[in-house]
Structure 1
Amino acid sequence: MANKLQSDNPEQLIYENDLLKLTVLGGVRLEGLDRMRTTLKIELNNSVRPPVRHNLDLYNDTQLEKFIRKCAERLEIGTSIISASLSELTEILENYRLQKIKEQEETLKPKFRKLNLGEIEEAESFLKSNDLLTKTNELIGKSGVIGEEINRLLMYIIFTSRKREQLLHIVSLGSSGTGKTHLQEKVGELIPEEERVSITTLSENAFYYFGKQELKHKVILIEDLDGAENALYPLRELQTKKRIVKTIASKNNKGETKTKYLVVEGPVCVAGCTTKEHIYEDNANRSFLLYLDESQEQDEKIMQYQRQISSGEINFYEQKELQEFLQNTQRILKPITVRNPFANKLNLPQSVFKPRRTNNHYLQFIEAITFYYQFQRERQFDKETGEEYIETTLEDISNANMLLKEVLLRKSDELTGSCRNYLESLKTYLKAQKKKQFTALEIRRQLRLPKTTQWRYHKQLNDSCLIKTIVQKGKQTNRFELTNEKEYKELEAQIQTVLEDCLKDIERSTVPKRSKTKMERLTKTKTAS
């Protein structure tokens, strides 16, 4: 007797022997191994008799016996033949189901790529190179991330922190169409695929149904935080407590209701994009806030890149190679303890809001840079515990200061990011026009802003005493005037002074005065331009 299961179409499994043809319509469910519910179609080979169709559980003897008698009567064939055929089909379907479950489990397992010796040596050589951050930034740019020189490197280092116990998080802020999602996606592609999870939308309980270890030490990329509001609480718990637990009621095989615990462990590195800074304040407090460059210069860079794509000048194969190379450098980074011997001498500017969390972010970011430089740092061992560790250097602190200057400046600003961008654009316009006063309509037309948006900005600016209203007698239109054009520059100078003074104090007490790093020169050149 030739026994065979035709499974080319999983929705129509066909088993055929010398006498009968049995078709499982709709396939079999993989979950619930204690039952085998099927919809069967049984017909005689080479017969004009109509087939028998029925829905039953092959593990239910009562249903099975009734079905066998029904088939014997309709097809006019012995019950023993039908019984034997159904028994063979049941055994074949059991094996088929177990095989599919195993295949499904293998598919869900993360695919870890094993590097060959040449790839390891090439990645190690790069991580040992001088001016590592500068060279990394150049490769990020060549891989397809246009402009955003500071933001892209900042995001890359934060994603690198996923291998540590104290992970960092980032929220990208900017108006619609500025490329928040694109930047996050392109930098995310530089992280190995098995170590990142990209999510478009999230339901309220979505995080609780991941595997217990499925998210551990991974980067979670949320395309739009605006569509994930209901899932933000468990997300915050994963960020802070590195573990979430949910209890649900479920029934066992005996029909008894039992309490079941859903546990998902972290830590995780979370990145998300939004246009609404205040709505996600609780999440923003746990994260670095990255404000995208909305300048005309950045617009021109992106448009020029789009033109190059259209004209066929972009080598996408080379970009893919660079992405894979940076992924390989990430793969060879190994978890190791980082100690900062200068931590007690580092202070934040007093102007920073929420200094407790910001101070922790600042110290952890310095350690993340040291972690990235692990192939250039001497391995040391604790004399008491024997723990292996590497130490932060002055270069790490200097590079962190350069990258975090804008972040700390925004953390010290009482205005929202969008309102600050409006005010700085307003200052630029007034300076170019050599004006002191302006009307709301004039600025709306120049900056192409909706009226309600400008009202919201002016309310913030009035509350902060950064603009004043000039009432004109006999005229319905009021004029406005800035109260302090240099307030942002003064705040920036204050933060820069505090960071530089800390570094100089450490340098004086440890090593001779050193020359500026290439990263510092690059940043200052960009700022000046």
Structure 2
Amino acid sequence: MKKPIGLITDNPELLLYLDGKLHITVLGGIKLTGFDRLKVTLKLVNTDDKLNVFRHNLDLYNSIQAEQLIEKSADALNIGTREISTAITGLTTSLEQYRSERLEAMKPKQPEKKQLSEAERKAAIAYLKNPDLLGRTKQAIGQSGIVGEETNALIAYLIYTSRTRENPLHLLCLGASGTGKTWLQEKVGELIPEEDKLEITTLSVNAFYYFGKDELKYKLLLLEDMDGAEDVLYPIRELQSKRKISKTVTLKDSKGNPKTITLQVEGPVCISGCTTREQMYEDNANRCILLYMDNSPEQDVKIMDYQRKMSAGLIDRYAEKKVREQLKNVQRLLKPVSVKNPYAPYLQLPEAVFKPRRTMLLLLLFTETITYYHQYQRELKTDEDTGEQYIETTIEDIQAAFSLLETTLLKKSDELNDACRDFFEKLKTYLKEKDTDTFYSKEVRAAFRLSPSSIGRYLYELERMGYIKIAKGSRYKGFEYKIQSWNDLENLANDAQSMVKSILENIQLVTRIPPVTQSLNGLHKMQKISGERPVTHE
């Protein structure tokens, strides 16, 4: 009776292929990576003569090596070359299928979308109709376990909300080691439904290209450490700008013939990452809204107080979890809808902002995202020419966008990077307290507990930019420095605030579009315009 033909995979390190009287063992199994090769170590046995064994190491995709295997094993085992050739072809096909199945099984299972109960649905809708939706969301974020970074967390939450839009926003959390950037990203990520996000610790060079074509579409991608992801910065930028990436690779078929295939991954995708090195990721940072972590002593006190309460069991973890689930349900009820901003022609940026084109785009997209988040409080309108349905931005949305992004816009107007700016502001406060405008680096280094390399870097940058100058001294006895600019940051802030105030005043004067008002129960008063109706969510 003929023995069954097939691949036995009970032991991944010792695969067995049976073909009649020929038994082939794949010693050590196969590598699951590298689709352009199929290297194996084979042990061939003729069951009519089990003491006669033939062993060979080869790449099954190499036709020359495969032909040599067939000829030599046929002579050694006293089996016809045609029989062995058929077995090797069947083995190759079975190993390819086995590799594909293993790789598919190793992929993380995407959580199924949660089906909300009627009570959860009603609670989420009532939440989205809250008259002070942004204020209520900020409060809930604080109640979810995020301490002292509520404004940054609200910005991140809104950015993550944009993942379902055709032009999503992207986020880069900046700060020195230990300032909580990864923690903030992780905690805000917990407010997004599991089925809509993908958390990644590290990525290899080509990792992005091996996702499924639509696997990342409308997803939130959380990169824990951008400092360890230098190799994937280019595909990240391409996903952010072009919303798709592709790569052409050469593979070999079962006969060893080369063939070309194109791997393509499509977005849009919302990308969030953390880094300590703002300058290194300038190209990526220009495509992102930047969040600067609060490293003030007051924030340290808040964090440590929360840690102590957590250790003492004084934090209601169940209440925090309940708030997180509520915010997830709110996200699940947001539906794709177009946004138009009738006030966009009147928006401007401070002249001091670097790379204003991309900054303006980020401001417009962030404003649209705020409108999108308020979709249950906006009327659904229809474009008479195209039939497209959309909701409109209000003046309140613009005010909220400018208010939330005030720090980001200010940083983008500042010549100094964040670390150098923090040092300079602390230095000015220190000197004002001592009622002087001069200092020695040794004195300041001791007062701020900085390393010689750090203070040297800060002083060099400040002197180069003209914020300080050398008053006297030498490199042997030490230099005495003098502050040249005391109010530069205040002037930047005042200019930005004046510009925003002027923009809002101009909008009020030139536009005839009345703002949407809201009643106390969270329902907006409908404008009596033919063909318009509120956004409905079936």
Answer yes or no: is the 8 Å Cα contact 1:30–1:97 preserved in 2: no
Amino acid at match of 1:476: K
1:150 and 2:151 are equivalent in the alignment: yes
* Partner of residue 257, structure 2: 256
**Structure 1 unpaired stretches of 5+:** 73-78, 516-529
* Partner of residue 113, structure 1: 112
* Partner of residue 464, structure 2: 463
1:199 and 2:203 are equivalent in the alignment: no
Shift of 1:7: 7.7
SS in 1 for 2:478: coil
Distance in 2, Cα, partners of 1:62 & 1:352: 68
Please show how residues 220-259 of structure 1 align to structure 2 within 5 Å.
220-259=221-260
* Partner of residue 273, structure 1: 274
TM-score by length of 1: 0.80
Shift of 1:392: 0.5
Distance in 2, Cα, partners of 1:41 & 1:126: 68
SS in 2 for 1:194: helix
SS in 2 for 1:249: strand
RMSD, matched Cα:
4.2
SS in 2 for 1:379: strand
Please show how residues 293-442 of structure 1 align to structure 2 within 5 Å.
293-442=294-443
Shift of 1:452: 1.7
Structure 1 residues 262, 437: CA separation in 2 closer, same or farther (over 3 Å shift)?
A: same
Shift of 1:383: 0.9
Shift of 1:36: 13
Distance in 2, Cα, partners of 1:325 & 1:240: 32
Structure 1 residues 165, 419: CA separation in 2 closer, same or farther (over 3 Å shift)?
A: same
Distance in 1, Cα, partners of 2:169 & 2:258: 40
1:93-151 Cα shifts (integer Å, max 9, x gaps): x9999799669647747535344443222222211112111121222222222211221
1:414-446 Cα shifts (integer Å, max 9, x gaps): 111111111111122223333322221121112
Amino acid at match of 1:341: P
Amino acid at match of 1:143: S
Distance in 2, Cα, partners of 1:23 & 1:252: 22
1:502 and 2:503 are equivalent in the alignment: yes
Answer yes or no: is the 8 Å Cα contact 1:110–1:194 preserved in 2: no
Structure 1 residues 319, 95: CA separation in 2 closer, same or farther (over 3 Å shift)?
A: farther
Distance in 2, Cα, partners of 1:234 & 1:101: 25
* Partner of residue 480, structure 1: 481
Shift of 1:341: 0.7
SS in 1 for 2:112: coil
Amino acid at match of 2:426: S
* Partner of residue 287, structure 1: 288
Distance in 2, Cα, partners of 1:10 & 1:313: 49
Answer yes or no: is the 8 Å Cα contact 2:468–2:481 preserved in 1: yes
**Between 247-256 and 465-474, the greater mean CA deviation after superposition:** 465-474
Answer yes or no: is the 8 Å Cα contact 1:162–1:218 preserved in 2: yes
Shift of 1:220: 1.9
Distance in 2, Cα, partners of 1:289 & 1:188: 16
Structure 1 residues 40, 258: CA separation in 2 closer, same or farther (over 3 Å shift)?
A: closer
Identity of aligned residues (%): 46
Distance in 1, Cα, partners of 2:132 & 2:478: 56
* Partner of residue 171, structure 1: 172
Amino acid at match of 1:327: K
Distance in 2, Cα, partners of 1:393 & 1:377: 9
Amino acid at match of 1:434: D
Shift of 1:37: 7.7
**Structure 2 unpaired stretches of 5+:** 61-65, 519-538
Shift of 1:254: 3.0
Shift of 1:38: 9.1
TM-score by length of 2: 0.79
**Between 303-312 and 433-442, the greater mean CA deviation after superposition:** 433-442
Structure 1 residues 413, 383: CA separation in 2 closer, same or farther (over 3 Å shift)?
A: same
Please show how residues 94-105 of structure 1 align to structure 2 within 5 Å.
105=104
Answer yes or no: is the 8 Å Cα contact 1:22–1:43 preserved in 2: no
Answer yes or no: is the 8 Å Cα contact 1:208–1:262 preserved in 2: yes
Structure 1 residues 113, 53: CA separation in 2 closer, same or farther (over 3 Å shift)?
A: same
Amino acid at match of 1:256: N
Distance in 1, Cα, partners of 2:295 & 2:108: 40
Shift of 1:70: 10
SS in 2 for 1:279: helix
